[in-house]
Amino acid sequence: MSAAGNYLTFSLGEFCFGIITTDVVELNKNLDVTLVPKSQKILKGITNLRGQIVPVIDMYERLGIMLGTTTKQTISIVSRCHGVVIALLVDSVGEIIQLEENTFEPPPNNFSPATRDLILGVHKLPEKLLLILDNQKIINGTGEYQAQPFEKEIIKGIDIHREQKLLH
Amino acid sequence: MEQIDDILVEFIIEAREILDQLDLDFVQLEETPGDSKLVGNIFRGVHTLKGNSGFFAFKRLEKVSHAGETLMMKIRDGALSLDKQKITSLLNALDVLREIISGIEINTVEPVGDDTELIQALLIHASGGTPSVKGPGDAPAPGLAPTQTGTTINDPADIAEARKSAAAGDEPPALKVAVSGDTTQAGNAIESVAAAAVKASDPLEPALATGEYTSAEEALLPIEMKSYEVAAPVKVNMEVLDKLINLVSEMVLARNRLLPFVAEFGSHNFSTAVRTVDLLTQELQERMMKTRMQPISQIWAKFPRLIRDLSNECQKTVTLIQEGADTELDRTLLDAIRDPLVHIIRNCVDHGIELPDERVRLGKQKTGKILLCARHENGMVVIEISDDGGGINFDRVRQKAVHNKLVTAAKADTLSDVELMELIFLPGFSTKQVVTNLSGRGVGMDVVKTNVTGAGGRIEIDSPRGKGTSIRLKIPLTLAIMPVLFVRSENERYAIPQNSIIETVRIDLATDATGLEDFYGTPVFRLRGKLVPVMLLNRQLNLSNRFPGPNQAITIVILQSSGTRFGLLVDEVMNMQEVVVKALGPLFKGIPDFAGATILGDGLVALILDPDGMATHSGLVEKMQSRKLNADEAKDQSLEETIPMLLFALSGLERLAIPLGLVGRLERFPADKVQRSGKHEVVKYGDGIMQIFRPNEYIDGADCSPEKSDKPISVITHYINQQPVGLVVDQVHDIIHVPKNTYETGPRQRGLMGCVLLDNKVINVIDLQEILMLRSLHDNEAPRVSVMDMEVVQ
């Protein structure tokens, strides 16, 4: 996979991340999130996106970043991940920037395995480093989330399971 | 690569359609053998299939369909006539084609298999011969072969056919055609006779006698026309439809937000515009919901073939009459009722309809009738399947129920037909004496019931003895919309499906005598004298750990799920509403507590609870099932007049009784054998250790001051999960038989269940559960205990 392309930048506390724009559907502010008890920690809850129920991912939890004082988590990046629409809860969104291959470097070895799996690499920007997220792995993470049974289902797509659950 | 796949997918879809249509056509052709239009249709279908498979170089498909085509061509040209045998061979060919296509769908290549025998049979038919179907070993269609011998005597058409097949072997073709002409005539003759019979006498279905069933052709023709119409409309991907429906419901919500502004601004032009939007949205929503609806004929289309095969296998003759095939219902529901319908029809043919001889003896027409009827009624779809067979054999049901130990023999005799009918739905129940490959395995009506109730529907059975059975399935029009009750727990709103709610109860703990009681770790409360376990919604969902205080008023929603009844303690009952159900998606799949989610008028999402999932997940079902068994025992005993009890004495209370069923053994131990384990008194009992205790302090009125004496102690042992516990009593008197119902004198007393009268003397019956519970509360430990319910009469 080429590292060049258009990236949407967003921030979580002091960290700056990029996500490839082809996966991004839209941005929302102040979505009303309904908590889902007993769900995984990375799932903040569900929200209504024009009639579609969309899971909301707490990116602090997902990336294992400690919650800082500046945490606002008011912006949702709605993106598509293995055919499932998900909303990523972040602090703020920056501009969309075009990046070239030559500024890209693979993730350093001292990242934790869970994080390294999620981060494709780093783009060296003039003033800061931009961590590039692999959007497709956000809900399909390996490592600590592997035990969850949902992962296999995602690939098959949700539509098969729609409403079927209600029948049983 | 992608393109080839697309073409292949299209080929498979088309092939399936052709095969389904061919099924229908063949079965109909059997009824109306002379219909040259049908023969033409079949020929074209087979031909198209052959052509398409040639394009993909599917050799097996091509060979089988070629053989079928060869035979069909002869028939179309009038060189041969179609008879039952040929149709059976052709239908077999269709089955093989279907199998091959399923194989292709999975692997994109043809599955390996040997069709030589089948092709041989088809070609022999085509060349005018008769393959040795009647030979016991080498029949190309095993299972269907016996039909030929079985029905020959009864059916004139078959006699003619047999004559013809006999002739076919050694007569020149010219003569054979003549004979086959004869068959057609014979067939027509029978139909008119049958029709006349229907006209003349049919007490069960007068409607049929008047018009619809004047001839087989007329009865079946509309169905054929319909099925052509179904194939015609444009195919739309379900996903696209679902999205459209989503958008429309979102638009309805947006409209709802718009409406309040009309009052606020009061501009006439503005309000007119809003009204127009309002009307259009409503219309759009109604139309959109319709797109999900599909005619029930979609699943019925397979039934003529099914019945044909089944009746051949059972050696019965059965006709299927369909009414209201254009009744529409939600696609998802259609899927849910497909299997139940197949099962019921199978039952009708296999159990319901009698053998032709038997029917003649009973004065019925030889041909059995199954009526499939669908209609809309009070916002529900009612599907009725009735047959004119023997009805449910209630005596057999009764025998079988006793045999399977579902009820006692004495009780079985008192059960009414309606009560016996309930037994049919129990898992593993079958009245069929011999297991056939059609039915009798006992996995049947319970599955039907599960599927139908799962779809939010109901089943009603009506089976007058000897007059046939009529089964009505009542299914809601759509699954997507469901009435729910909203409740609040902490700050969250949750929806409970209305069909699982029995009632809601409000209890003021300050004034209620019993309130919430602790029953070995599970809170319970008394609902009209019966214990109902309570689940705290806030704890169940890990919202908080709050437990209602002693002087609080609490709200409990009584739910029925998986055969158990339990209460759900919520903070507030809000409103009832019809909501659109949405799936939660795969990320939340592992959570059993939720059935889905819904979007409220304010745009927020509320979760819909799944009472079944909650009950099962929390272990309530398991606990309740062990209780239920005991409750049933108690019920049985209540039928008898007395129950045996053990009469004993404690200091202070001379006449106490304990139900004998709770007593394991009576023992006497020397006082010096009693030892201590922590704060408990124990004795060596068998190879183990038994805890013993003095129940005095848990029973009101008993003298609590422990007497120290060296006399041997009398102990009543009781088993909790195979663990013995001993009650130390002063003296054991006797076994007595007392009325089952106890009397409660005044307010409930601790440790006592009530009292009974024997020889004008009052005997107090102890409440062992309560005593054990009090004791375990006392010890801060909660062993699980089997329970026996007793009914209390005030």
Nearest CA of chain B to the CA of A168: how many Å?
A: 5
Say whether A47 and B605 touch across the interface (CB within 8 A). Answer: yes
Cα–Cα distance measured from residue B595 to residue A165, given in angstroms and rounded to the nearest whole number: 7
A46: nearest CB among B479, B581, B597: B597
- On the question of pLDDT at A123 being above 90, the answer is no
Q: Is B242 on the interface with A (CB under 8 A)?
A: yes
Q: Is B655 on the interface with A (CB under 8 A)?
A: no
Task: List chain B residues with CB under 8 Å of A82.
Answer: none
* Model pLDDT, residue B548: 80
* Model pLDDT, residue B494: 93
Nearest CA of chain A to the CA of B159: how many Å?
A: 49
Stretch (H or E) spanning B323? strand B318-323
Mean pLDDT computed over every residue of chain A: 74
Percent of chain B exceeding pLDDT 70 equals 74
| CATH number 2.30.30.40 given to B481-623 | yes
- On the question of pLDDT at B3 being above 70, the answer is no
Say whether B586 and A84 touch across the interface (CB within 8 A). Answer: yes
* Model pLDDT, residue B480: 62
SS3 B510: coil
Q: Domain range holding A162? A: 5-167
- On the question of pLDDT at B301 being above 90, the answer is no
Task: List chain A residues with CB under 8 Å of B583.
Answer: 53, 158, 161-166
Confidence of residue B495 (pLDDT cuts 50, 70, 90): very high
Residues B337-350 pLDDT 10s: 888 888 888 888 88
How many contacts does A have with B, using Cβ atoms within 8 A? 114
Q: Provide mean pLDDT across the span A153-168.
A: 39
Closest CA to B151 of B347, B18, B313: B313
**Residue A63 neighbours by CB under 8 Å, 6+ apart:** A12, A15, A115, A118
Confidence of residue A78 (pLDDT cuts 50, 70, 90): very high
**Contact between B248 and B285 (Cβ < 8 Å):** yes
**Contact between B66 and B114 (Cβ < 8 Å):** no
Q: Provide mean pLDDT across the span B428-433.
A: 59
Query: A29 has which bridge partners?
Result: A75
Say whether A39 and B586 touch across the interface (CB within 8 A). Answer: no
Asked if B297-473 and B481-623 have one fold, the answer is no
Instruction: Supply the ipTM of this predicted assembly.
Output: 0.77
A34: nearest CB among B336, B541, B607: B607
- On the question of pLDDT at A33 being above 70, the answer is yes
Nearest CA of chain A to the CA of B170: how many Å?
A: 58
Say whether A150 and B239 touch across the interface (CB within 8 A). Answer: no
A148: nearest CB among B584, B590, B594: B590
* Model pLDDT, residue B621: 60
Task: List chain B residues with CB under 8 Å of A166.
Answer: 479, 581, 583, 595-596
* Model pLDDT, residue A154: 34
Stretch (H or E) spanning B301? none
Query: B724 has which bridge partners?
Result: B719
Lowest average pLDDT, out of B320-334, B373-387, B424-438, B684-698, goes to: B424-438
Residues B517-555 pLDDT 10s: 776 667 888 887 777 888 888 888 888 888 887 778 889
Q: Which residue has the higher pLDDT, A131 or A159?
A: A131
Q: Is B537 on the interface with A (CB under 8 A)?
A: no
Confidence of residue B693 (pLDDT cuts 50, 70, 90): confident
* Model pLDDT, residue A8: 92
* Model pLDDT, residue B195: 46
Cα–Cα distance measured from residue B704 to residue B693, given in angstroms and rounded to the nearest whole number: 12
Say whether B599 and A166 touch across the interface (CB within 8 A). Answer: no
Q: Is B585 on the interface with A (CB under 8 A)?
A: yes
* Model pLDDT, residue A85: 87
Q: Provide mean pLDDT across the span A112-125.
A: 78
Cα–Cα distance measured from residue B662 to residue B635, given in angstroms and rounded to the nearest whole number: 16
Say whether A150 and B596 touch across the interface (CB within 8 A). Answer: no
Encoded tokens for B639 = 């039928």
SS3 B498: helix
How distant, in Å, are the alpha carbons of A20, B62, B167, B783 from that of B761? Answer: 88, 92, 94, 35
Task: List chain A residues with CB under 8 Å of B454.
Answer: 167-168
Lowest average pLDDT, out of A18-27, B34-43, B245-254, B738-747, goes to: B738-747
Say whether A36 and B588 touch across the interface (CB within 8 A). Answer: yes
How distant, in Å, are the alpha carbons of A27, A51, A160, B242 from that of B246? Answer: 20, 5, 17, 6
**CATH fold for the domain made of B2-200:** Four Helix Bundle (Hemerythrin (Met), subunit A) (1.20.120)
**Measured CA angle at B236 (ends B232, B239), to 5 deg:** 155
Using CB atoms and an 8 Å cut-off, which of residues 76-135 of chain A contact chain B? 84, 86
Q: Which residue has the higher pLDDT, B453 or A59?
A: A59
| Residue to test with chain B: of A146, A148, A162, A164, most B Cβ within 10 A | A162
* Model pLDDT, residue B431: 56
Query: B435 has which bridge partners?
Result: none
Closest CA to B758 of B735, B778, B781, B779: B735
Lowest average pLDDT, out of B183-197, B206-220, B608-622, goes to: B206-220
Instruction: For strands A119-124 and A129-133, give the pairing.
Output: antiparallel
**CATH fold for the domain made of B238-295:** Helix Hairpins (1.10.287)
Torsion of CA B517, B518, B520, B525, to 10 degrees: 40
* Model pLDDT, residue B487: 93
Say whether A51 and B542 touch across the interface (CB within 8 A). Answer: no
Q: Is B254 on the interface with A (CB under 8 A)?
A: no
* Model pLDDT, residue B223: 42
**Contact between B582 and B598 (Cβ < 8 Å):** yes
One-letter amino acid at B476 equals P
Say whether A37 and B593 touch across the interface (CB within 8 A). Answer: yes
Cα–Cα distance measured from residue B422 to residue A150, given in angstroms and rounded to the nearest whole number: 39
**Measured CA angle at B581 (ends B575, B585), to 5 deg:** 130
Cα–Cα distance measured from residue B564 to residue B614, given in angstroms and rounded to the nearest whole number: 12
Mean pLDDT computed over every residue of chain B: 73
Q: Which residue has the higher pLDDT, B465 or A99?
A: A99
Task: List chain B residues with CB under 8 Å of A53.
Answer: 582-585, 597, 599, 605
Say whether B599 and A48 touch across the interface (CB within 8 A). Answer: yes
Q: Which residue has the tokens 């005997």?
A: B763
Say whether A168 and B454 touch across the interface (CB within 8 A). Answer: yes
Q: Based on the structure, what is the number of domains in chain A?
A: 1
Task: List chain B residues with CB under 8 Å of A152.
Answer: none
* Model pLDDT, residue B148: 37
Encoded tokens for B525 = 């409360």
Nearest CA of chain A to the CA of B499: how many Å?
A: 13
DSSP string, B55-113: HTT-HHHHHHHHHHHHHHHHHHTTSS---HHHHHHHHHHHHHHHHHHHHHHHHSSPPP-
A34: nearest CB among B242, B586, B604: B604
Q: Is B215 on the interface with A (CB under 8 A)?
A: no
CATH of domain B640-793: 2.40.50.180
**Contact between B94 and B101 (Cβ < 8 Å):** no
Q: Provide mean pLDDT across the span A92-119.
A: 80
Kindly calculate the radius of gyration of chain A based on its CA atoms and give it in whole angstroms. Answer: 16
A165: nearest CB among B242, B247, B595: B595
Class of domain B297-473: alpha beta
Which residue in chain A has the smallest CA separation from B610?
A: A166
Residues B607-656 pLDDT 10s: 999 887 787 777 766 665 555 434 444 444 344 456 778 888 888 777 88
**Residue B647 neighbours by CB under 8 Å, 6+ apart:** B655, B656, B657, B732, B733, B734, B735, B736, B763
DSSP string, B108-129: SSPPP---HHHHHHHHHHHTT-
Task: List chain B residues with CB under 8 Å of A62.
Answer: none
Say whether A48 and B605 touch across the interface (CB within 8 A). Answer: yes
One-letter amino acid at A109 equals N
* Model pLDDT, residue B131: 59
Confidence of residue B486 (pLDDT cuts 50, 70, 90): very high
Say whether A36 and B584 touch across the interface (CB within 8 A). Answer: yes
One-letter amino acid at B625 equals Q
Scanning B425-519, the segments in alpha helix (DSSP H) are 445-454
Confidence of residue B470 (pLDDT cuts 50, 70, 90): confident
Q: Provide mean pLDDT across the span A22-30.
A: 88
Residues B572-587 pLDDT 10s: 898 887 777 777 777 7
Nearest CA of chain A to the CA of B63: how many Å?
A: 36
3-state secondary structure chain A: CCCCEEEEEEEECCEEEEEEHHHEEEEEECCCCECCCCCCCCEEEEEEECCEEEEEEEHHHHHCCCCCCCCCCCEEEEEEECCEEEEEEECEEEEEEEECHHHEECCCCCCCHHHHHHEEEEEECCCCEEEEECHHHCCCCCHHHCCCCHHHHHHHCCCCCCCHHHHC
Say whether B253 and A161 touch across the interface (CB within 8 A). Answer: no
Cα–Cα distance measured from residue A144 to residue B789, given in angstroms and rounded to the nearest whole number: 48
How distant, in Å, are the alpha carbons of B87, B98, B406, B489, B547 from that of B564? Answer: 52, 44, 18, 23, 23
Stretch (H or E) spanning B775? helix B768-779
**How many residues in chain A?**
168
Q: Provide mean pLDDT across the span B508-514.
A: 75
Confidence of residue B479 (pLDDT cuts 50, 70, 90): low
* Model pLDDT, residue B530: 78
**Contact between B730 and B650 (Cβ < 8 Å):** yes
Nearest CA of chain B to the CA of A127: how many Å?
A: 37
| Residue to test with chain B: of A54, A166, A167, A168, most B Cβ within 10 A | A166
**Contact between B588 and B607 (Cβ < 8 Å):** no
Q: Which residue has the higher pLDDT, A89 or B480?
A: A89
Which residue in chain A has the smallest CA separation from B612?
A: A168
Stretch (H or E) spanning B657? strand B653-659
* Model pLDDT, residue B169: 42
Q: Side by side, which strands form the sheet with B605-609?
A: B572-580, B481-489, B492-497, B605-609, B594-599
DSSP string, B359-395: HHHTTS-SSEEEEEEEEEETTEEEEEEEE-S----HH
Residues B92-125 pLDDT 10s: 888 888 888 888 877 777 777 777 888 888 888 7
* Model pLDDT, residue B557: 92
The whole-model pTM stands at 0.47
Say whether B603 and A43 touch across the interface (CB within 8 A). Answer: no
Nearest CA of chain A to the CA of B662: how many Å?
A: 39
B543: nearest CB among A37, A51, A149: A37
* Model pLDDT, residue A68: 62
Say whether A53 and B599 touch across the interface (CB within 8 A). Answer: yes
- On the question of pLDDT at B137 being above 70, the answer is no
Using CB atoms and an 8 Å cut-off, which of residues 10-39 of chain A contact chain B? 32, 34-39
Burial class from Cβ neighbours inside 10 Å (0-12, 13-18, 19+) for residue A53 reads buried
Q: Provide mean pLDDT across the span B694-720.
A: 77
Q: Is B491 on the interface with A (CB under 8 A)?
A: no
